[in-house]
Amino acid sequence: MADFDTQVDVLVIGAGGAGLAAAIAASDLGASVAVVEKLPRPGGNTGLSTGSIPGAGTRFQRLAGIDDNPQKMTADLLGLSGDHDATDLTRMLSERSAELVEWLVDKAHIRLDIIKDYKHVAHSVPRLHAPASRKGADLVHDLVAAVERRGVPIVLSNPVVDLILGKNGEVIGATTRTAQNAVSRIGAGKTILCVNGFGASQQMLAQYCPEIAGAMYSGAKGSEGEAIRWGAQLNARLGNMASYQGYATLMYPHGELLSWTTIEKGGVLVNDKGLRFGDESIGYSGFAAPVIAQSGKVHAIFDQRIRDIAAKEPWFKEILDMGGAKKAIDVPDLASKLAVDPAALQKTLSAYGQGSDEFGRKDIGIAPLQAPYWYTQVVGGLLSTQGGLMIDQHARVLDKTDRTIPNLYAAGGAVASISGRSGGVGYASGSGLLHAIGLGWIAGTDAANAVANPSHSR
Ligand SMILES: Cc1cc2nc3c(=O)[nH]c(=O)nc-3n(C[C@H](O)[C@H](O)[C@H](O)COP(=O)(O)OP(=O)(O)OC[C@H]3O[C@@H](n4cnc5c(N)ncnc54)[C@H](O)[C@@H]3O)c2cc1C
């Protein structure tokens, strides 16, 4: 038997949305739990996000008069993503999404509101629930507080470098190594991988997701793909590896998000010739590739009315208040500031929102646009990868023969996601956190139950 420095029932690797939700769920079922985190602070991509989690049929929707159900959500998500390696997870997470949101609010005391002002990508009704600030940092704050109230340690600056295997190939813990080379061996009944994907690894992007390799990356630096590497050693099955969450409007040069509300409500993107180049309403993730394909500068254009709507999102108002978008009084002024041909830009803006759209855009918000205009230069980039380990409905990791790898669970960006088989078009708003927090909750619950009732383990 391996000797360990410490031993827990459930070891959670990674303190982002998936890991923190897993820790709360497992602790509430009586398991002893520890969370180990690579970086000096918790949060990962979850802390950078806008904190929006979809739930279909929540009581918050009902109170707001929104009629929704899991079947509608499944149809919305599969309608965007098409068939892929994890369609069973799309169905299961849609079915359990309302219970998840209500668990977060009622049991973990996470502060979430239903967002009524916008639906964002793929959702046919408003179903995103987010902190009032729309900041993932506030979501992380509440999740960390919930973990700490339960007395679960979150050990920072302690990257896991290896999983520890027992005699029969079962996972029995993990080894951490600090920057000062202090090594610790942690024994665990169950281990949950919550380390996100491989967006911060150029080498893995080039190998698995070449379409977006080389684009600006605006996700967390901890996403270096360890789950994929450890999974390969255990003969784990991978899925949806070429799928990613892109973003069409990263503000240049600083990389902050231009709120997609500006485009959903009627804004457009134009190239250095003053021309639109596609249907922006396919979504912020799907439209990232067309933006990247432009050879010159790309600008987002919206108007004062849209700016006023988008400024209701506190996180984006801060960016606007810092001068994140600039004003032009009319089309000639705008053309001069964008350095594009004024006649071409006039033609583009006059045609847009009048009659049938040249690129088939159907949802034009409150377009046509009216002076004064607001604009900002944007680039397309990567927020997170969406491919990863294949799991079953209890978040247990599967090997290439579809058998579970004993004692190993995974959740969030480490897992094959629900965003399609490849490319950025299949990513629906909120899918990243649904996958992270939803699967973390499911993994933590199953792991704790399995520790408590080993004879019932499937
Ligand atoms: C700017 C931005 C906006 C977004 N907005 C939304 C949104 O509104 N809604 C939505 O659903 N999704 C959104 N997403 C996507 C979403 O943030 C991610 O899909 C989700 O946060 C992934 O959660 P996770 O727990 O799997 O990973 P993370 O939150 O990244 O957590 C993983 C943690 O594991 C740690 N870790 C990594 N390797 C190790 C190791 N070896 N040992 C120990 N720890 C390790 C990392 O440091 C990190 O803290 C957004 C993403 C970005 C970048």
- Nearest residue by C-alpha to atom 4 in ligand 1: 49
Collapsed DSSP state (helix, strand, coil) of residue 82? coil
CA distance 133 to 29: 31
- Ligand 1 pocket, 418 CB below 6 A? no
- Ligand 1 pocket, 324 CB below 6 A? no
Across the range 209-237, mean pLDDT stands at 96
Contact 251, 95 (CB under 8 A): no
- Ligand 1 pocket, 89 CB below 6 A? no
Q: What is the pLDDT of residues 330-348, one digit of tens each?
A: 999 999 999 999 999 999 9
CA distances 18 to 223, 279, 296, 414, Å, are 13, 33, 38, 10
| Long-range Cβ contact pairs of 148-152 (< 8 A, separation 24 or more) | 150/23, 150/24, 150/27, 150/28, 150/33, 151/27, 152/23, 152/24, 152/27, 152/33, 152/34, 152/35
Across the range 189-193, mean pLDDT stands at 98
CA distance 250 to 215: 11
Give the least confident one: 113-122, 192-201, 270-279, 431-440: 113-122
Band (pLDDT 50/70/90 cuts) for residue 159 is very high
* DSSP sequence for 377-395: EEEEEEEEE--EE-B-TT-
Please give the number of the atom of ligand 1 that sits closest to the Cα of 42.
Answer: 49
pLDDT at 454: 85
- Ligand 1 pocket, 56 CB below 6 A? no
- Ligand 1 pocket, 226 CB below 6 A? yes
- Nearest residue by C-alpha to atom 6 in ligand 1: 49
- Ligand 1 pocket, 48 CB below 6 A? yes
Q: What whole-number percentage of the chain has pLDDT above 70?
A: 99
More confident residue, 184 or 362: 184
> In the predicted model, is pLDDT for residue 211 greater than 80?
yes
Determine the distance separating the centroid of ligand 1 and the alpha carbon of 19, expressed in angstroms.
10
Determine the distance separating the centroid of ligand 1 and the alpha carbon of 317, expressed in angstroms.
23
- Nearest residue by C-alpha to atom 14 in ligand 1: 49
- Ligand 1 pocket, 144 CB below 6 A? no
The backbone torsions φ and ψ at residue 395, rounded to the nearest 5 degrees and listed phi first, read 70, 20
Helix, strand, coil abundance in the chain, percent, nearest 5: 35, 20, 45
The backbone torsions φ and ψ at residue 376, rounded to the nearest 5 degrees and listed phi first, read -160, 145
Band (pLDDT 50/70/90 cuts) for residue 23 is very high
- Ligand 1 pocket, 216 CB below 6 A? no
Q: What is the pLDDT of residues 52-103, one digit of tens each?
A: 999 999 999 999 999 999 999 999 999 999 999 999 999 999 999 999 999 9
Q: What is the pLDDT of residues 235-245, one digit of tens each?
A: 999 999 999 99
pLDDT at 458: 56
- Nearest residue by C-alpha to atom 31 in ligand 1: 16
Q: What is the CATH number of domain 6-240+386-456?
A: 3.50.50.60
Across the range 102-123, mean pLDDT stands at 92
Please give the number of the atom of ligand 1 that sits closest to the Cα of 17.
Answer: 25
Q: Which residues of 208-236 are buried (b: 16+ CB within 10 A; e: fewer)?
A: bbebbbebbbbbbebbbbbbbebbeebeb
Across the range 214-240, mean pLDDT stands at 97
Q: Which helix (H) or strand (E) holds 429?
A: none
* DSSP sequence for 99-160: HHHHHHHHTS----EE--S---TT-SS--EEE-TT--HHHHHHHHHHHHHHTT--EE-S--E
Single-letter amino acid, residue 19: G
Q: Name the one residue in this structure whose structure tokens are 């399609």.
A: 420
pLDDT at 2: 65
Contact 308, 265 (CB under 8 A): no
Report the chain's mean pLDDT, rounded to a whole number.
96
Across the range 107-115, mean pLDDT stands at 97
pLDDT at 455: 76
The backbone torsions φ and ψ at residue 54, rounded to the nearest 5 degrees and listed phi first, read -80, 140
Q: Which residues of 315-331 are buried (b: 16+ CB within 10 A; e: fewer)?
A: bbbebbeeebbeebeeb
Distance of CA 241 to the CA centre of its chain: 15
Please give the number of the atom of ligand 1 that sits closest to the Cα of 20.
Answer: 25
Q: What is the CATH number of domain 244-382?
A: 3.90.700.10
> Could you give the angle at the alpha carbon of 233 between the alpha carbons of 227 and 237, nearest 5°?
70
Nearest CA-CA partner of 212 in 227, 193, 197? 197
Domain with CATH 3.90.700.10 in the chain: 244-382
Domain with CATH 3.50.50.60 in the chain: 6-240+386-456
> In the predicted model, is pLDDT for residue 457 greater than 70?
no
- Ligand 1 pocket, 45 CB below 6 A? yes
Residue to mutate, 127, 196, 260, 415, ligand 1, most ligand atoms under 8 Å from C-beta: 196
Q: What is the pLDDT of residues 402-450, one digit of tens each?
A: 999 999 999 999 999 999 999 999 999 999 999 999 999 999 999 999 9
CA distance 8 to 164: 14
Across the range 349-355, mean pLDDT stands at 94
> In the predicted model, is pLDDT for residue 1 greater than 60?
no
Q: What whole-number percentage of the chain has pLDDT above 90?
A: 95
Burial of 286 (0-12, 13-18, 19+ CB in 10 A): buried
Across the range 120-125, mean pLDDT stands at 89
Across the range 143-157, mean pLDDT stands at 98
Band (pLDDT 50/70/90 cuts) for residue 194 is very high
